[in-house]
């Protein structure tokens, strides 16, 4: 990933937003036990798995999603060298076959099982398939950090009515999860959807594309088809596919957020990069490679996230992005005792932002005209084996301070970039504050 500087031309503010690029690969690695399913792939599955892993290492794609990574998983990992990889959830019939291999670390990872499966035309209920969620740290720095919510999935296969219903249910489940756990965040969803637009009774991916709650776009449509309208005419891919115009069931979807703009720059089927020495394929699916560039938000950016991934995700981004600029904080409102119970601000337009519980003692600091909240210190430590926010100190541009909780554990000071200020929060909360990041906007 090369680093480069890009400018925010629309605002004419000449703000240099750090930006970069990354690549994603979605690959069904055909790792069902050979006695159950050859996946129509010639050769020995152990040898093939080692070769797939060595290609993962050689091409060094930033984020790889594997599906059907069941019984040959250890062989893939034995030859791959990505620094961050999910531990397997097991072979058939225990695991979901979903794994991520990444050059970037993450701060949260979960496996979620589908609530519905169908054996109408294939054995989808044989093993607990589903989807995974991770909050990936694309870049972190002492001031401004970028996170990306990344979902891998393997939806129900087949085209019998019961399969279509199960698959629609699977996609609805992911969409509902995104609309709760990825509020305000940029999102990537890529994996084996077992779904094609051209099967018109197969509405699953169309619904994902058209749902306002997920707001996802498909780089295959944008780049290979130069449209936003899904096709209805069938165009199946050979394997390897010499063209990117044909449609496969392996899909990549993305959305930007006010914190991070994602731009897909290329879309390719890369089966020809995953061949055995004799030219045979390594998977019955064409692996999909999409290259992206990203740029940090023009009007909103965020600090690093501190604390643990417990409680419920919240983000002030949707509210803040809907307000009329310029924004500023009229008062900082905290509650705390041995830890931080709640955090909040009242903005100068009267908007109240608040997260956490009702315990502890309330403290508040009213800001004067032309005074901004420019620095925040956060401490994280453990309570009952879980990491939470124990202390928060706010400092304004006039050097005035307010704090809540008790200073302990690991403490970090975040200063808004020059000309910026803290106006809100994102993180996870319950009766206290489990995880926290600051939202910055321009002064």
**Which residues of this protein are in contact with ligand NAG, per CB under 6 A?**
1, 23, 60, 81, 103, 266, 268, 291
State the minimum distance, in angstroms, from the CB of residue 139 to ligand NAG. 11
How far is 318 from 335, CA to CA, in rounded Å? 24
Alpha-carbon span 76 to 55, nearest angstrom: 10
- Of all residues in the shown chain, the one whose CB is closest to ligand NAG is 266
Minimum CB separation of residue 253 from ligand NAG in Å reads: 18
Residue 1 or residue 165: which is nearer to ligand NAG going by CB? 1
What is the rounded distance in angstroms from the CA atom of residue 369 to the CA atom of residue 154?
54
Nearest to ligand NAG of 1, 17 (CB atom): 1
Query: CA–CA separation, 286 vs 375, rounded Å?
Result: 49
Instruction: Count Cβ atoms within 10 A of the Cβ of residue 79 and give its class: 0-12 exposed, 13-18 middle, 19 or more buried.
Output: middle
What Rg do the C-alpha atoms of the chain give, in angstroms?
A: 23
By beta-carbon proximity to ligand NAG, the closer residue of 270 and 433 is 270
Cβ-based nearer residue to ligand NAG, 57 or 236: 57
Q: Please report the sign of the dihedral spanned by the C-alpha atoms of residue 28, residue 29, residue 32, residue 36.
A: positive
Minimum CB separation of residue 236 from ligand NAG in Å reads: 23
Residue 164, C-beta contacts closer than 8 angstroms, at least 6 positions apart: 201, 202, 203, 204
**Shorter beta-carbon distance to ligand NAG: residue 59 or 177:** 59
Which CB atom, from 23 or from 48, has the smaller least distance to ligand NAG?
Answer: 23
Q: What values do phi and psi take at 426, rounded to 5? A: -145, 160
Question: In the complex, what is the shortest distance from the CB of residue 81 to ligand NAG, in angstroms, rounded to a whole number?
Answer: 6
The least CB distance from residue 265 to ligand NAG, in Å, is: 7
Q: Which is nearer to ligand NAG, 103 or 276 (CB)?
A: 103
In the complex, the smallest distance separating the C-beta of residue 427 from ligand NAG, rounded to whole angstroms, is 28
DSSP state of 327: P
Contact 166, 151 (CB under 8 A): no
- Would you call 78 helix, strand, or coil by DSSP? helix
Read off the tokens for 135: 């909050």
Find the shortest distance in angstroms from Cβ 222 to ligand NAG.
14
Dihedral over Cα of 9, 226, 204, 100: its sign: negative
Q: DSSP secondary-structure letter at 214? A: T
């Amino acid at each position: 990933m090369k680093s480069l500087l890009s400018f925010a031309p629309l605002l004419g503010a000449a703000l240099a937003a750090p930006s970069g690029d990354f690549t994603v690969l979605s690959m069904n690695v055909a790792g069902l036990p050979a006695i159950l399913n050859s996946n129509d792939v010639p050769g020995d599955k152990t040898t093939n798995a080692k070769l797939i892993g060595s290609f993962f290492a050689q091409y060094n794609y930033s984020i790889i999603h594997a599906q059907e990574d069941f019984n040959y998983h250890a062989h893939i990992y034995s030859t791959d060298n990505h620094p961050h990889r999910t531990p397997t959830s097991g072979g058939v019939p225990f695991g979901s076959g979903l794994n991520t291999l990444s050059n970037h670390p993450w701060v949260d990872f979960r496996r979620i099982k589908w609530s519905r499966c169908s054996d109408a035309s294939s054995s989808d209920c044989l093993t607990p398939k589903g989807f995974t969620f991770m909050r990936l740290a694309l870049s972190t720095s002492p001031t401004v950090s970028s996170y990306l919510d990344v979902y891998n999935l393997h939806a129900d296969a087949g085209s019998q009515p019961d399969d279509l219903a199960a698959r629609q249910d699977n996609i609805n489940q992911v969409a509902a999860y995104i609309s709760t756990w990825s509020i305000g965040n940029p999102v990537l969803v890529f994996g084996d959807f077992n779904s094609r637009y051209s099967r018109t009774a197969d509405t699953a991916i169309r619904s994902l594309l058209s749902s306002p709650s997920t707001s996802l776009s498909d780089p295959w449509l944008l780049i290979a088809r130069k449209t936003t309208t899904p096709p209805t005419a069938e165009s199946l891919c050979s394997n390897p596919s010499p063209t990117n115009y044909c449609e496969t069931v392996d899909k990549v979807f993305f959305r930007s957020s006010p914190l991070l703009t994602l731009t897909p720059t290329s879309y390719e089927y890369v089966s020809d990069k995953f061949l055995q020495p004799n030219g045979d394929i390594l998977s019955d699916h064409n692996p999909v490679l999409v290259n992206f560039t990203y740029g940090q938000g023009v009007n909103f950016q965020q600090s690093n996230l501190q604390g643990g991934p417990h409680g419920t995700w919240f983000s002030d981004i949707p509210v803040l992005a809907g307000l009329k600029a310029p924004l500023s904080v009229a008062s900082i409102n905290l509650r705390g005792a041995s830890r931080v119970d709640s955090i909040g601000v009242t903005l100068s337009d009267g908007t109240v932002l608040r997260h956490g519980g009702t315990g502890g003692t309330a403290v508040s600091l009213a800001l004067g005209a032309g005074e901004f909240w420019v620095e925040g210190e956060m401490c994280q430590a453990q309570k009952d084996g879980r990491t939470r926010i124990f202390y928060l100190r706010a400092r304004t541009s006039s050097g005035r301070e307010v704090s809540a909780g008790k200073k302990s554990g690991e403490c970090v000071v975040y200063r808004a970039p020059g000309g910026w200020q803290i106006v809100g929060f994102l993180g996870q909360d319950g009766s206290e504050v489990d995880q926290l990041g600051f939202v910055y906007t321009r002064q």
